[in-house]
């Protein structure tokens, strides 16, 4: 799956059959609006989709593998480029949005030496700028520090709902970085490079995120989910679901509870990133020999539960003369127990308690863990967070094993018995329980959507993405889709005051779609 981002010759290369008609209308509109705004034709369109995560929630930033898939909804950037750099010291970006009432146009004169992003102001073009900055850094690594960008005219059309758990941000950042690379003469953009730069770039917008969304957005291939691993390096491969009758579908349902990480980061997302890193440091201090340093890794705070995991078992194997290597699943089972025995404080740990265990001062603790992205907490729930992460990493492996391990899954050429589907579904339901109870990232509305769906025939239902609102995902056989939709309409959406447009967008059946692509106009 590695290699360059593909060029699409037609929309058929990008979208599933069922989306072609509506996408055709949308693309025509985008290109004609571009012409009328800028007075000339766009040169190309860069495209990156949103994603839904099937299983593996809140473990990417602990560097455990996850299983998302790309959806049809995406970010499109129609772009034209001035052939020459404008000025010696700056270049110009004109950027507009098809939804101009909500996302007003901007013109920036950007000095070459500083792409400033004010992450405290939540502005839609910040996502473009962060992709731009990442791309500029990459171009400079390749072509030298005085590489100059060309001026660009851009028109954006995004269909991934913002704050909905489907990763509009990663779609936008990836499409932006891709656009800047293409506009500046990089005709072959390597997928791994693009993903890595999009991951780092997105952190510039104020969220200390993992790398799942950007990987799913860039690498996905039609018809398959994506198994993404982050350690020892970023890799992605397709995973297939069994062909069954009735077909297994994924339904995505919005809760319409807006979850804005930029506002709630200090008590939600960014706090979890800190708690997981602290748990890794604490377990290392207590369980590994004194003075053991965890390897620096690509996790947001440079230290991860996966890094602890690797170090712990490497030391164990080293010190024991006998025993065969444990499988990764066995290791994770052991870690779930170890976390329970070691991290005993249900009520959480204070800064003082953690600093004492790490043998550092509280100031040093703050400097290492909470200075870049501030968090608000008096206690850190290391026990619950570590239990979730190890347990969830294990569920991902079990889910994958169901699909690929000869249990009647795709590779065994069968599957789809009610029993098999129930096993897949149970893993998703367990994820939801763990997200709700141990990780505390669900909300009553998502819990309710899941309960309604299960009663109406979903095999497995859970939140998807960061949580605290946003979207939910449900594994439903095709012959129960209508029943599940009706149940939500009657029992959940009827209570809300929704516009027709919202009602229309509330629930989608999602087929795994393609990742990033470039389309040359004309």
Residue ranges that bind ligand NG1, judged by CB under 6 A: 53, 57-58, 60-61, 165, 167, 169-170, 202, 207, 209-210, 212-213, 261, 465-466
HSE, side-chain direction, 13 A CA sphere, residue 61: 26
Q: Which is nearer to ligand NG1, 91 or 128 (CB)?
A: 128
User: CA–CA separation, 105 vs 95, rounded Å?
Assistant: 6
- Residue 76 CB, shortest distance to Mg ion, in Å, is 18
Q: List Cβ neighbours of 77 (8 Å cut-off, separation of 6 or more).
A: 45, 46, 47, 154, 155, 156, 175, 176, 179
Q: Which is nearer to ligand NG1, 75 or 487 (CB)?
A: 75
Q: Which is nearer to Mg ion, 75 or 427 (CB)?
A: 75
Q: Which does 466 bind (CB under 5 to 8 A by kind): ligand NG1, Mg ion, none?
A: ligand NG1
- Residue 261 CB, shortest distance to ligand NG1, in Å, is 6
Contact 133, 197 (CB under 8 A): no
Beta bridge partners of 94: 107, 153
Contact 461, 472 (CB under 8 A): yes
Quick one: tokens of 425?
Answer: 């579904």
For Mg ion, which residue of 65, 80, 125, 169 counts as binding (CB under 5 A)?
Answer: 169
- Residue 171 CB, shortest distance to Mg ion, in Å, is 9
Q: Which is nearer to Mg ion, 169 or 434 (CB)?
A: 169
Q: Which does 151 bind (CB under 5 to 8 A by kind): ligand NG1, Mg ion, none?
A: none
User: CA–CA separation, 405 vs 409, rounded Å?
Assistant: 7
Contact 220, 512 (CB under 8 A): yes
Beta bridge partners of 240: none
Part in contact with Mg ion (CB under 5 A); list of ranges 101-109, 165-173, 476-484, 496-504 = 165-173
User: CA–CA separation, 514 vs 218, rounded Å?
Assistant: 8
Q: Which is nearer to ligand NG1, 210 or 391 (CB)?
A: 210
Catalytic, out of 213, 297, 430, 447: 213
Strands (E), 62-215: 67-81, 90-97, 106-111, 152-158
Site string for Mg ion, 219-248 (x = CB under 5 A): ------------------------------
Judge whether 213 counts as a catalytic residue.
Answer: yes
Quick one: which H or E segment has residue 403? helix 382-404
Strands (E), 171-224: none
For residue 54, give the 3-state DSSP assignment: strand
Part in contact with Mg ion (CB under 5 A); list of ranges 132-140, 166-174, 381-389, 401-409 = 166-174
Q: Which is nearer to ligand NG1, 156 or 466 (CB)?
A: 466
- Residue 199 CB, shortest distance to Mg ion, in Å, is 12
- Residue 129 CB, shortest distance to ligand NG1, in Å, is 16
Q: Which does 210 bind (CB under 5 to 8 A by kind): Mg ion, ligand NG1, none?
A: ligand NG1
The answer to whether 201 contacts Mg ion (rule: CB under 5 A) is no
User: CA–CA separation, 279 vs 31, rounded Å?
Assistant: 50
HSE, side-chain direction, 13 A CA sphere, residue 471: 29
Q: Which does 212 bind (CB under 5 to 8 A by kind): Mg ion, ligand NG1, none?
A: ligand NG1
Contact 99, 29 (CB under 8 A): no
- Size of interface with Mg ion, in residues (CB under 5 A): 2
Q: Which is nearer to ligand NG1, 209 or 370 (CB)?
A: 209
Contact 184, 149 (CB under 8 A): yes
- Residue 169 CB, shortest distance to Mg ion, in Å, is 3
For residue 150, what is the DSSP state? Answer: P
- Residue 172 CB, shortest distance to Mg ion, in Å, is 9
Q: Which does 58 bind (CB under 5 to 8 A by kind): ligand NG1, Mg ion, none?
A: ligand NG1
Q: Which residue is nearest to ligand NG1 (CB)?
A: 465
User: CA nearest 33: which of 167, 168, 154, 196?
Assistant: 154
Q: Is the preceding peptide bond at 340 cis, omega within 30 degrees of 0?
A: no
Residues with a catalytic annotation lie at 213
State the residues that interact with Mg ion by CB under 5 A.
167, 169
């Amino acid at each position: 799956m590695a290699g360059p981002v593909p060029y699409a010759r037609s929309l058929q290369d990008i979208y599933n059959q069922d989306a072609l008609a509506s996408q055709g209308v949308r693309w025509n509109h985008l290109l004609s609006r571009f012409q009328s705004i800028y007075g000339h034709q766009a040169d190309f369109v860069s495209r990156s989709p949103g994603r839904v995560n099937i299983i593996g929630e809140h473990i990417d930033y602990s560097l455990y593998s996850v299983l998302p898939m790309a959806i049809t909804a995406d970010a499109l950037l129609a772009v034209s480029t001035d052939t020459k750099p404008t000025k010696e010291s700056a270049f110009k970006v004109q950027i507009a949005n098809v939804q101009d009432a909500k996302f007003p146009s901007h013109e920036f004169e950007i000095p070459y030496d500083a792409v400033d992003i004010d992450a405290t102001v939540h502005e839609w073009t910040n996502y473009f700028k962060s992709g731009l900055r990442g791309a500029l850094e990459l171009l400079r690594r390749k072509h030298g520090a005085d590489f100059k960008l060309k001026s660009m005219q851009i028109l954006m059309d995004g269909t991934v709902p913002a704050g909905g758990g489907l990763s509009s941000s990663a779609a936008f950042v990836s499409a932006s970085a891709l656009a800047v690379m293409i506009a500046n003469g990089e005709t072959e953009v390597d997928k791994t490079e693009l993903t890595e730069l999009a991951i780092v770039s997105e952190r510039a917008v104020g969220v200390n995120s993992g790398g799942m969304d950007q990987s799913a957005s860039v690498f996905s291939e039609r018809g398959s989910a994506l198994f993404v691993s982050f350690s020892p390096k970023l890799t992605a491969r397709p995973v297939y679901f069994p062909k069954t009758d009735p077909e297994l579908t994924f339904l995505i349902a919005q809760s319409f509870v807006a979850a804005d990480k930029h506002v709630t980061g200090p008590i939600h997302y960014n706090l979890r990133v800190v708690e997981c890193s602290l748990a890794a440091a604490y377990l290392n201090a207590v369980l590994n020999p004194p003075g053991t340093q965890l390897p620096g890794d690509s996790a947001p705070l440079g230290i991860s539960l996966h890094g602890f995991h690797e170090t712990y078992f490497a030391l164990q194997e080293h010190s024991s003369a006998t025993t065969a290597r444990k499988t990764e699943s066995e290791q994770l089972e052991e870690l779930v127990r170890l976390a329970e025995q070691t991290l005993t404080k249900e009520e959480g740990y204070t800064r003082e308690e953690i600093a004492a265990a790490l043998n550092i001062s509280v100031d040093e603790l703050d400097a290492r863990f909470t200075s870049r992205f501030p968090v608000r907490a008096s206690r850190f729930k290391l026990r619950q967070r570590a239990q979730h992460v190890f347990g969830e990493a294990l569920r991902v492996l079990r889910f994958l094993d169901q699909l690929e391990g000869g249990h009647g899954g795709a590779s065994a050429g069968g599957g789809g018995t009610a029993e098999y589907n129930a096993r897949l579904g149970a893993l998703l339901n367990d994820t939801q329980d763990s997200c709700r109870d141990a990780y505390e990232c669900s909300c009553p509305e998502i819990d309710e959507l899941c309960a309604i769906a299960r009663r109406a025939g979903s095999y497995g239902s859970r939140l998807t993405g960061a949580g605290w609102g946003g979207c939910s995902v449900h594994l439903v056989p095709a012959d129960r889709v209508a029943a599940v939709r009706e149940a939500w309409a009657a029992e959940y959406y009827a209570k809300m005051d929704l516009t027709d447009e919202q009602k229309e967008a509330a629930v989608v059946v999602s087929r795994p779609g393609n990742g990033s692509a470039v389309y040359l106009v004309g």
